Amino acid sequence: MTIEQPQTSIKKVLIANRGEIAVRVIRACRDLGIDTVAVYSDADRSSLHVRYATEAVHIGGPSPRDSYLKMDAILEAARRTGADAIHPAYGFLAEREDFAQAVLDEGLIFIGPPPSAIAAMGDKQAARETVMRAGVPVIPGTEHGLRDDEILAAAEHIGFPLMVKAAAGGGGKGMRAVRSLAELPDALASARREAESAFGDGTVYLEKMIEGARHIEIQVLADTHGNTIHLGERECSIQRRHQKLLEEAPSTFVDVDLRQRMGEMAIRAAEAVGYVNAGTVECLVDKDKNFYFMEMNTRLQVEHPVTELISGVDLVKEQIRIARGRRMGPTESLIQPKGWAIECRINAEDPYNNFIPSVGTISTLILPSGPGVRVDSGVYGGYTITPYYDSLIAKLICWGDDRPEAMLRMRSALEEVTIMGVKHNIPFHLNLLGSFSFIAGRVDTNFVEERFSMTTYETAAQDIEIETAAIAATLYAHRQRQLAGQVVNRNERDTSNWKWLSRWERVHR
C-alpha cells in the first residue's frame, strides 16, 4: 500500500518521553543535524535527556499522569519551541492513536505509524481479526466483547490451559493464566480490574495457552512508497511476569525456513493495516515451530538495539527518514545479518528478594566499554531512582561474531559494571549466562519462573549430563552470591573464558 506523502524537512524534534530512550532519540537527531526538545517532570529536572537536548520544557509533576501522559502540555511545549515533529519513543503516549492524531492536527509530523494503524493494532482482539483476514495464523481464542457467561462457555470448547488477556494494553497487565474452569471466574474479575486501572478499559478475552512456547518477534519497517521489509527476529523468551529481562538476535531456535515464513507473515500483518514506520510483530512459537500472531507493537521496542547491531540499520534514523516522506534506506536484498547480539536490562531491583524495585541515589556508577559493547542509559552517578517510573538503569548490549563470543563479552561487560547506592539485577544476569539450559538455547517463556532460581540451578534436570552441569552451575552461583554486593570484582572469576567456551562447545557436540 502506498501512502502519498510529500518529502518534508525536519529541523527540530520534540521527544515525548524520558530516560534512556529519550537520550537514544536525541543522539540519532544529533547525527542528522536536527535540534531536539526534551520534556521533563519535576522528578526529571536533572535527567540526562534534559541535559543533552537542545532545549528542555517542564511539563508537570512527577507522576506520569501529571506530565508524560498530558497531551496538551506536550503539544504546548512543541508550539513554544517551534518543533516540526514529535517522536513518542515507547511507553506513555507512544501507542495512543488520539495522541498521534492530535500531533497531526497540530500541523506537526508524528514520527511513527498513522493513527489508523495504531488503532487497528491497539485493540488486541480487533488486531487478531484483521490479521486473520490476511492469512496470518493466530492463537485460538474468543471473540471480542463476550459476556462472562459466554466466555465461560467458550473456555470449555477451546480447552485448558488458557490465558485471560486485556483487549487494550500490554506489558503483562490484565493477564492471568487459568488451568481449570473453577479458576476462570476469579481470573476474569481480577484481570478486568487490573485492565480498567491500567488502560481505562476492562474488556478481556481468552487465548489458548501455548505451553513450552518461545516469545519471538519480528522487526518490520515500512515507508510511504509501498516498501515493507523485515529485519529478522529477536528471541525474547527470558521473561518474568511477562516482563522481558534479556533479548538476543537472532534466535537459537529459528532456522532459515522459519525465519522466512515468520518474516513474510509479519509483512502481511503490517500491510493489512497500512502500516508505516518501525513496528514489531510479536509471536508465540511452539516446540514444533508452529508460530502464532500475538500482537503488533506500533512503536520502537526497548530491545531494538540487538536488531541494529546485527543488521547495521539505525532504526531511529530510519524512523525519521520515513517520517520525512523519504524511501527507507535498507532493502531486504541489502540486509545481511551478521553476528550475534544480546541485551541485558539492568534494573534497580533485588533479584534475591522477588525482584523488589530499589529506589535511592546511585552513589557510584561505572559502565563498561570496549569492542562490541554498547550501553544505552539515562542515568549517572548521583542520579536518583524514583518510584514514579520503571527501574531501568541501563541496557547493556554486546555483539560478537557468533553467540559464544557475544555471551563471553556480555559476561565480561557485566563484571565491569559498578553500581553503588541501589540494588541491581546483575547477579541474575550472570547466573543466567552460566545456566546450562541458556547456554544450550533450551528456554521458553516459563523458564525463569519455573526452572531457574538464584539459589538452585534448573531443578528439572533429568539426565546425568544436565545434572552434572547443574551442580557446576550451582557452585558457580554460590561463588557469584559471595560477590553479589553492590560491586562486582572483575578479577575474582572462578572460570576462565577459555574453560567457559569449552563448556559451551561440549553442550553442542
* Residue 326 scores a pLDDT above 70: yes
Position 211 scores a pLDDT of 85
Q: How confident is the model at residue 478 (pLDDT cuts 50, 70, 90)?
A: low
Position 128 scores a pLDDT of 86
Residue 299 annotated as catalytic: yes
Domain annotation for the chain: domains and CATH numbers = 12-111 (3.40.50.20), 140-208 (3.30.1490.20), 214-424 (3.30.470.20)
More confident: 188 or 470: 188
Sheet holding 35-41, edge to edge: 55-60, 35-41, 12-15, 85-87, 109-110
Q: How many residues does the chain have?
A: 509
Position 234 scores a pLDDT of 98
Average pLDDT of the chain is 89
Q: What is the pLDDT of residues 315-324, one digit of tens each?
A: 999 999 999 9
Q: What is the pLDDT of residues 80-97, one digit of tens each?
A: 999 999 999 999 999 999
Position 481 scores a pLDDT of 53
Which of 355, 357, 399 has its CA nearest to residue 374?
A: 399
The distance from CA 427 to its chain's CA centroid, rounded to whole angstroms, is 21
Q: What is the pLDDT of residues 31-79, one digit of tens each?
A: 999 999 999 999 999 999 999 999 999 999 999 999 999 999 999 999 9
Which of 310, 382, 374 has its CA nearest to residue 341?
A: 310
Mean pLDDT lowest among 141-150, 157-166, 280-289, 302-311: 141-150
Measure the N-to-C terminal CA separation of the chain; round to a whole number of Å: 47
198 contacts: CB under 8 Å, gap ≥ 6: 166, 169, 173, 174
> Catalytic residue among 259, 299, 321, 411, which?
299
The C-alpha atoms of residue 310 and residue 232 are separated, in whole angstroms, by: 9
* Residue 403 scores a pLDDT above 70: yes
β pairing state of 340-347 and 243-249: antiparallel
If DSSP codes are grouped into helix, strand and coil, which group holds residue 480? helix
The C-alpha atoms of residue 229 and residue 222 are separated, in whole angstroms, by: 6
Kindly report the number of other CB atoms within 10 A of residue 188's CB atom. Answer: 20
Q: How confident is the model at residue 399 (pLDDT cuts 50, 70, 90)?
A: very high
Instruction: Out of 47-61, 174-188, 469-483, 494-508, give the one with best mean pLDDT.
Output: 47-61
Q: How confident is the model at residue 5 (pLDDT cuts 50, 70, 90)?
A: low
Q: What is the pLDDT of residues 186-197, one digit of tens each?
A: 999 999 888 887
Give one DSSP letter per residue of 404-465, joined into a string: HHHHHHHHHHHHH-EEESS--SHHHHHHHHT-HHHHHT---TTHHHHHB-SSSB-TT--SHH
The C-alpha atoms of residue 487 and residue 432 are separated, in whole angstroms, by: 18
Which one-letter DSSP state was computed for residue 123? B
* Residue 499 scores a pLDDT above 70: no
Q: How confident is the model at residue 125 (pLDDT cuts 50, 70, 90)?
A: confident
Which of 357, 358, 316 has its CA nearest to residue 221?
A: 316
Q: How confident is the model at residue 410 (pLDDT cuts 50, 70, 90)?
A: very high
Q: What is the pLDDT of residues 480-492, one digit of tens each?
A: 555 544 443 444 4
Across 118-147, b (16+ Cβ under 10 Å) vs e yields bbbbbbbbbbbebbeeeebebbebbeeebe
157: which 3 cell numbers? 470448547
* Residue 145 scores a pLDDT above 90: no
Q: How confident is the model at residue 505 (pLDDT cuts 50, 70, 90)?
A: low
Q: What number is the average pLDDT over the span 234-240?
A: 97
Q: What is the pLDDT of residues 274-299, one digit of tens each?
A: 999 999 999 999 999 999 999 999 99
The C-alpha atoms of residue 222 and residue 1 are separated, in whole angstroms, by: 10
More confident: 123 or 428: 428
Q: What number is the average pLDDT over the span 235-245?
A: 94
Position 506 scores a pLDDT of 66
Residue 313 · residue 207 · CB < 8 Å: no
Task: Tell me the whole-structure pTM to 2 decimals.
Answer: 0.83
The distance from CA 39 to its chain's CA centroid, rounded to whole angstroms, is 23
